[in-house]
Amino acid sequence: MTAVAWRRRATLLLPLLLLACGGPAPPWRLPKTEPLDLALSLSAEAVALLEPVTVQIDLYRRADLEVEFVPEVDRADFLVEREVRPEVPFGDGFWRRTTLVLRPRRGPAELVLPAFTARSGDGAATASTPARTLRVGSTLAGHDAAVEAPGEPFPAPPPRPPWLVLAAALLLALLLGAWFRRRRRERPAAAEVALPPHVKAQRALQRLRTAPRATAAQVEAFYVGVSDVLRTYLEERFGLRAPERTTEEFLRDLEGGDQLAREHRAELERFLRQCDLVKFAAAVPGEVEHLATFALAEAFVEATRGDRAPAEVRS
């Protein structure tokens, strides 16, 4: 007997084996010839509100097809419990059963179970089930009895005079205003603490550390940003008008400035010249030059920060 004949015989015996083991049997008696198929069955077509109804959806797929199938229903209409059994061999492919236990949340009404569709991964094969209608009755006085309220459960409150509503609103506004004023007097405003120049410069440099430097425009923006941070620091730390000066003007002013800044004149000049090459000569340094220039700015701020400057010796 050939392998194909053995497979067909095993397929015919599979439903009997599953029933003998207490498992479900496929809905198809003979092997499928279609590449993809769906079968649907309902346990009932008319139920009461919140009464469970079981929906079984059987999927067959040929062995060479990849299919993802997750049937969904409107959860505004149903409470849903789902059970998906593992795939088992069937004919030239596999069979899988999905069981949905639905409890209708609205009634009396006719709720529609949508048409479920399965598609192969390449879209070449599809299979669908027809839409089904489920009649849902009320749990009161039979399935078809509509629920009616016996009457107004509570009498409507008498209308309030407009002047009373306005007076209550004004009183509430006065009380809230007095409470806010009292809280403001009891809680002193927090004093604003000015950040030292080196702290502001270090934070600004940290933000620029990861700035992109892939294109010429990004490189120029990086150097302009680092230069602006250092020039602002020089103005706030030493009183030098660095943001308003060219490199030559600033180096001239530096000669008559703070001694601590003059001690780092060579590093400042090298840093500013590199920035000028990028801004005005369209130079595009490499990453090594970027890091070296950034390190010069960081080292200058760290070396000249106000809390580490040597104190003057008094006679």
Cα 42 to Cα 118: distance, rounded to the nearest angstrom:
19
Task: Determine phi and psi for 222, rounding to 5 degrees.
Answer: -65, -50
Contact criterion met (CB below 8 Å) for 59 and 96: yes
Question: Using one digit for the tens of pLDDT, what is the confidence trace for 36-47?
Answer: 999 999 999 999
pLDDT band (50, 70, 90) for residue 153: low
pLDDT for 149 beyond 50: no
Question: Where do the domains of the chain lie?
Answer: 3-137, 197-307
| Region 200-218 average pLDDT | 87
Cα 85 to Cα 99: distance, rounded to the nearest angstrom:
8
Task: For residue 250, give the amino acid letter.
Answer: F
Q: Which residue has the higher pLDDT, 115 or 300?
A: 115
Closest CA to 258 of 206, 193, 197, 195: 197
For 8, residues 6+ apart whose C-beta sits below 8 A from its C-beta are 31, 91
pLDDT for 182 beyond 50: yes
Identify the residue whose tokens are 């598609």: 119
Cβ atoms within 10 Å of 38's Cβ, excluding its own: 21
pLDDT for 23 beyond 80: no
Q: Give the per-residue pLDDT at 83.
A: 92
Q: Which residue has the higher pLDDT, 215 or 153?
A: 215
Cα 230 to Cα 271: distance, rounded to the nearest angstrom:
10
Task: For residue 287, give the amino acid letter.
Answer: E
Q: How far is CA 43 from CA 118, 203, 287, in A?
A: 22, 69, 71
Q: Give the per-residue pLDDT at 209.
A: 84
| Region 243-257 average pLDDT | 74
Q: Where are the beta strands (DSSP E) in the chain?
A: 36-42, 46-48, 53-62, 78-84, 88-90, 93-104, 109-113, 117-119, 126-128, 132-137
Count of CA atoms in the C-beta half-sphere (13 A) of 7: 11
Mutual orientation of helices 287-304 and 197-209 as an angle, nearest 10°?
A: 160
Question: Using one digit for the tens of pLDDT, what is the confidence trace for 263-312?
Answer: 777 877 788 888 888 888 778 888 888 788 888 888 888 888 877 655 44
H-helix or E-strand spanning residue 232: helix 216-238
Cis omega before residue 153 (within 30°)?
A: no
Task: Determine phi and psi for 65, rounding to 5 degrees.
Answer: -105, 140
| Region 243-249 average pLDDT | 75
The CATH architecture that domain 3-137 belongs to is: Sandwich (2.60)
Count of CA atoms in the C-beta half-sphere (13 A) of 213: 21
Classify residue 4 as exposed, middle or buried by CB count within 10 Å of its CB (0-12, 13-18, 19+): exposed
Q: What SS3 string covers 94-126?
A: EEEEEEEEEEECCCCEEEEECCCEEEECCCCCE
